[in-house]
Amino acid sequence: MMEVVKLDFVVLGGQKCGSTFLQSILEIHPEIEMLPGETASLEDPDYLNGGKEKLVNMLREKNRSKIIGLKRPNYLTKPEVLPRLIELNPNVKLIVILRNPFDRLRSAYFHYLNMGFIPVKPINIGLANILAGKLQKEYPRSEEILEFGLYHKHLENYLRYFGDNIKIFLMDDLKSKQNQVISECYKFLGIDDMYMPPQKILKGRPQKVNYSLFRARVTRLMNPIRYKYWNNHTRIDRKKLYLHTAIIVILIRTIDVLLSKVIANNKPQFSRQLYSDLASFYSADIEHLASLINRDLSEWK
C-alpha cells in the first residue's frame, strides 16, 4: 500500500476545456501550491516507469502548510488513473471543467493536427476518417479526439467513488459568471473564497488556436527540432535547444508569425453530414451527463 501523501486536489479535466486558465487562478491563491505544468505520472506508461515514485517525491518537496494540487486533463479519460488516485489519497478533491463537446472537438482536432498526432487534413475529412476508425493504426492518439468529449462515460466512474469530493464546472459558467465560479472553487477547497486573482490573470486569454492548414505545416517543421517524439507519435518530450537549433526555431516561428498576418485564421465549420454524425456520437452521453449533474445542456445539442 502506497503511503498517503499530501495531495489535496487534482484538476482532472477535461482537455481543451479551460483547465489551464483554471490552474492559473488556483496557483495564484496564497494558500495553494501546485505542481508546475501537467503531471502525467499516474497514467501509463509513466506510472510503470517510475512515475509513481517521481510524483511522491515531488509532493514531499512541497510546502505542507498549503493546499497542494496538480493538473492533468487527460486523467479524466484514462481508466488506469482512478485506482491509482484512490491509492495515493482516497480523500483527494477533484475539480472538473467541461465544455460543449463540439467546440472542444474542434479545438482538440487542430491541437493534435498542429502537434503532428494526426495528418494535415481539412476538419470535415479528418474527423470523418477518425469516426470511421481509419487513422487508429497509423495515428494511435486519433481516437482520443472523439473519446475525450464523452464526459459522462468517464465521470460516472469517478463520481461513484469520490461523490461530493468532485466539483464540476462548465466553461460557459466560467465565461458568464467568472467571479462566482472562482469563489466556488476556492470554497470547495476550503480556503479563503473572498480572495480574487489579479486582473492580469482574470483577463488572460487561452492560446489562440491555429486553424490554417498551411501554417500547420510550417509549425510541424519545428516540431522535430523542439520535441522528441515517442514511438508512433503518441507523446512528445521537449528537447534542449542549442544555438543552431534555437536559431532554426526562431526563424521558422518568425515566418509563421508573418504568415499569421496575411493568412486568414477562420474557424472552420462542420459540414451538415459530419455534424449529424457527431450529434449521433455525442447525443446520448450529453443526455446522461445532464441528468448526472442536474444541468440543462440542451444548448450543447
Average pLDDT over residues 20-40: 93
Domain co-membership, 262 together with 163? no
Domain co-membership, 242 together with 281? yes
Of 112, 130, 79, 122, which is closest to residue 236 (Cα–Cα)? 112
How would you label 68-93 residue by residue, b for 16+ Cβ within 10 Å and e otherwise? Answer: bbbbbbbbbbbeebbebbeebbeebb
pLDDT for residue 253: 86
Any domain includes 298: no
Domain co-membership, 15 together with 126? no
Give me the percent of the chain exceeding a pLDDT of 70: 97
pLDDT in tens, 222-237: 899 888 888 767 788 8
Any domain includes 297: no
- Count of structural domains within the chain: 2
Domain co-membership, 107 together with 97? no
Domain co-membership, 239 together with 283? yes
Confidence of residue 149 (pLDDT cuts 50, 70, 90): very high
Any domain includes 2: no
- Residue 205 pLDDT greater than 80, yes or no: no
- Residue 217 pLDDT greater than 90, yes or no: yes
Any idea which residue has 469520490 for its cell?
162
Of residues 35 and 63, more confidence is placed in 35
- Residue 269 pLDDT greater than 60, yes or no: yes
pTM (2 d.p.) = 0.90
| Domain encompassing residue 178 | 9-101+150-202
CB 70 within 8 A of CB 39: yes
pLDDT in tens, 101-130: 999 999 999 999 999 999 999 999 999 999
Any domain includes 190: yes
Confidence of residue 248 (pLDDT cuts 50, 70, 90): confident
Domain co-membership, 70 together with 41? yes
Please state, in angstroms and rounded to a whole number, the distance separating the CA atoms of residues 282 and 280.
Answer: 6
pLDDT in tens, 153-173: 999 999 999 999 999 999 999
Domain co-membership, 17 together with 78? yes
Please state, in angstroms and rounded to a whole number, the distance separating the CA atoms of residues 20 and 23.
Answer: 5
Confidence of residue 200 (pLDDT cuts 50, 70, 90): confident
Confidence of residue 294 (pLDDT cuts 50, 70, 90): very high
Any domain includes 111: yes
Please state, in angstroms and rounded to a whole number, the distance separating the CA atoms of residues 112 and 130.
Answer: 12
pLDDT for residue 236: 84
pLDDT for residue 231: 74
Any domain includes 294: no
CB 172 within 8 A of CB 102: no
Domain co-membership, 20 together with 91? yes
